[in-house]
Chains A and B, each alone.
Chain A
Amino acid sequence: MDIIFNKTNLFFMLDGLKLTLLIAIVTIILSTIIGVILALIRNYCKGILAPLAKFVTCYVELFRCTPNILWILVIRFFVKGSPVPIAVFACTLFTSAVMTEIIRGGLNSIPNGQFEGAASQGFTFVQTLFYIILPQTFKNIIPALLSQVITIIKDTSFFRVIEVAEFTRNSLGVIGAKCTETYQIMTLFGIVAATYFIICFFLSCMVRGYHKRVTI
């Protein structure tokens, strides 16, 4: 057993876990920013800017209807660079489409009276968005945002196809290279699954806790 659970292997897996979490955090921040911009374009670009809104719709539909693995492979072949930025880029690309829809749902849940009230107080449109609409939107979408973090953490395991040194790839690497006995392989499988489970379960408990707090 000690051959498997030595320092080198554990640190190798831990490095992978760090990268997985790093990709997830950077992606959720970037795609929230992009999502806000795209959702605002899709909701409020009317008249001469309407083609922009149409373009965002196409982007969202395209990424909603094609598998993530396809985009990971596409990015690998058409964007040159080191693996980690490529992984973040690919992940941001398909997460932004989802975030746009989540934020748009949040924007649509704000009653129109809020706009009218702000306008009557002399706020401009941009001020209304910044001081009144977006803060409320963020409060509403926090659960969906956390669920999306869970999805990203799970989706990072797909990056094994392009050999990004994230948790799945490193752990399966240890299993493939070092394990010979069945019990060793099963223990490592268990550890990998348990690690993902603990992180994601913790996040989903936060989502539920938030729901409960809001409904009370």
Chain B
Amino acid sequence: MKNLFTLKRWAALWAARADFASGLWTTLRVSFLGLCFALFLGIVFGLLSTSKNKTARGLARTYVEFFQNTPLYIQTFFFYNGLPYFGVILSPFIIGILAIGLYHGAYIAEVIRTGILGIPNGQKEAARSQGFTYLQSMYYVILPQTLKIILPPLANQALNLVKNTSVLAMIAGGDLMYHSDSWATLYDYHAQGYIAAGLLYFILCFPLAKLAAYMEKRAKIIPGSIQVQNAEAAEV
């Protein structure tokens, strides 16, 4: 406990701010690119799993089940230590994007699938019978309802994705967790290193958690009802 209040250690932490900043920058880049990759995979496999083609559905199921039911660390470790045996050597940064993207892509595919299946077919038929074209019925009727279902879990996935980028620390990936752990171990200033890392992760993740909670609240509101006006009035 005494070490926690030693000024020298906090000064050392401040002196090492460039390390932490570079770690944070890597975490941010891996998170952003990983999220883009995961969204891409999620949309592709989410659509495949709702298609009429049996092979496409099977492919999507296999992908989702495999990546959801094996640990992220095993996957990451395979990219890091297994792929070189096949002559494929990737930098930890690329491995981070690949592993995080593939892992969370499986979860996002499930989110997209439930979002699409959550809209009853009658909605589309009703829109078409009112003279909406396919694109119009998608844009005005289906997508707004789908988005409402999928946005809260998507925000949650983004939050988990940022947290899971810390798996890079286990393959010397140069992310925030790696830099703070190696700094803490080097000087034996564990309290300072971990508090700084925790604080930075919290700053990254807390807005996402709040966003998810806000979207969940919004999704419960029925459009056009008095509730909406009340909710909007309350926000002002």
Enumerate chain A interface residues (CB-CB to B < 8 A): 61-62, 64-70, 73-74, 77-78, 150, 153-158, 160-161, 168, 172, 182, 185-186, 189, 192-193, 196-197, 200-201, 204
User: Who on chain B is nearest to A65 by CB?
Assistant: B205
| Cβ contact within 8 Å between B209 and A65 | yes
Within the assembled complex, what's the spacing in Å between the Cα atoms of A185 and B80?
A: 13
| Cβ contact within 8 Å between A67 and B73 | no
CB-CB under 8 A from A78, the residues of chain B are 190-191
| Cβ contact within 8 Å between A196 and B69 | yes
Within the assembled complex, what's the spacing in Å between the Cα atoms of A11 and B116?
A: 46
CB-CB under 8 A from B68, the residues of chain A are 200, 204
Given contacts A69-B167, A73-B194, 13 further A-B contacts (CB under 8 A): A64-B159, A64-B205, A64-B209, A65-B202, A65-B209, A66-B198, A67-B164, A78-B191, A186-B85, A189-B82, A201-B65, A204-B65, A204-B69
| Cβ contact within 8 Å between A74 and B194 | yes
Interface of A is mostly: helix
Task: Say yes or no for B77: interface residue by CB 8 A criterion.
Answer: yes
Interface residues in B71-108 by Cβ distance below 8 A to A read 71-74, 77-78, 82, 85-86
Q: How many of chain B's residues have a CB under 8 angstroms from any CB in A?
A: 36
| Cβ contact within 8 Å between B74 and A77 | no
| Cβ contact within 8 Å between B198 and A70 | yes
On whether A65 and B70 interact (CB within 8 A), knowing A160-B170, A185-B85, the answer reads: no
| Cβ contact within 8 Å between A154 and B72 | yes
**Can you list the 3 inter-chain pairs with the closest CB atoms, starting with the nearest?**
A65-B205, A200-B69, A67-B166
Q: Looking at the assembled complex, report how far the CB atom of A64 sits from the nearest CB atom of chain B, in whole angstroms.
A: 6
| Cβ contact within 8 Å between B166 and A168 | no
| Cβ contact within 8 Å between B85 and A67 | no
User: Who on chain A is nearest to B69 by CB?
Assistant: A200
On whether A160 and B69 interact (CB within 8 A), knowing A64-B159, A66-B205, the answer reads: no
